[in-house]
């Protein structure tokens, strides 16, 4: 069985669509949907509860902290971390279980944007490759409980890039896998900024991450580059 863990902050409208879809396509393989709220000012908490999600409230609005909190209360043997503004494919649960049964205890999905813009199509095309840029949060990580706990979960020192940091540690211990099915990812960041601005912000953040710059400095730069 799978425990789905969603870090959330002011994501009422996204949760309204995401949670029912997760249940609809669960195929009896999902034991719980856990929403870990980071201090929302909207109706996220009440809405998630009404949609049969288990809700936890984190004192700190940090994805690493929120996801670790959710995992610490999860009951299934497989964890699936999903961002509120993404939509898994209809057969997500079957794909995860199949990969786990094949001995592939950790991985993520490809994705495509909810946009027909050619540049965004190009961006999403690269998510099929299992390289250094694979494993971002929008690709929705699945991982066995034993492996996640053995790694110590997400590093809470990372207020940004926490997903890439965990994947780097995973690769030192076992193989990482890309499921050849596509998540649907919101393009709202690109709508609020130009494609070039987002690319530059992403490149700067990843470069600083590789240079081991403090996560708080990376986050500050990233936020300053984007609206």
Q: pLDDT value at position 14? A: 96
CATH architecture of the domain formed by 2-187: Alpha-Beta Complex (3.90)
> Within 13 Å, how many C-alpha atoms sit on residue 145's CB side?
13
- Which residue, 160, 128, 138, is CA-closest to 63? 160
Q: How many helices and strands, by DSSP H and E, does the chain display?
A: 10, 8
Q: pLDDT value at position 133? A: 86
Structure tokens at 114: 């909810």
pLDDT per 10-residue tile (average), the chain, 227 residues = 97 97 96 97 96 94 96 98 96 96 95 92 92 88 97 94 95 95 92 91 90 92 85
Q: pLDDT value at position 132? A: 83
Rounded CA separation 45/11 (Å): 9
Residue 69 near residue 36, CB atoms below 8 Å: yes
Rounded CA separation 154/99 (Å): 22
Residues of the chain with CATH 3.90.550.10: 2-187
Q: pLDDT value at position 223? A: 87
DSSP type of residue 57: E
């Amino acid at each position: 069985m799978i425990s789905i863990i969603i870090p959330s902050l002011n994501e009422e409208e996204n949760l309204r669509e995401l949670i029912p879809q997760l249940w609809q396509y669960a195929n009896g393989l999902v034991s719980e949907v856990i929403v870990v709220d980071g201090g929302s000012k909207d109706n996220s908490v009440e809405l998630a509860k009404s949609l049969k999600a288990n809700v936890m409230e984190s004192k700190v609005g940090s994805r690493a902290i929120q996801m670790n909190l959710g995992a610490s209360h999860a009951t299934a043997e497989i964890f699936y971390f999903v961002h509120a503004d993404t939509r898994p494919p209809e057969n997500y649960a079957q794909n995860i279980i199949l990969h786990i049964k094949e001995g592939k205890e950790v991985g993520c999905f490809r994705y495509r944007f909810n946009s027909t813009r050619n540049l965004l199509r190009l961006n999403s095309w690269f998510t099929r490759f299992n390289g250094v840029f694979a494993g971002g949060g929008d690709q929705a990580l699945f991982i066995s409980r034993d492996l996640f706990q053995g790694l110590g979960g997400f590093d809470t020192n990372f207020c940004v890039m926490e997903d890439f940091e965990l994947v780097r540690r995973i690769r030192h211990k076992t193989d990482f896998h890309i499921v050849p099915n596509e998540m649907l990812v919101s393009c709202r960041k690109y709508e609020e900024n130009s494609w070039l601005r987002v690319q530059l912000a992403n490149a700067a953040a990843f470069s600083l991450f590789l240079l081991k710059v403090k996560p708080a400095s990376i986050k500050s730069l990233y936020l300053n580059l984007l609206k």
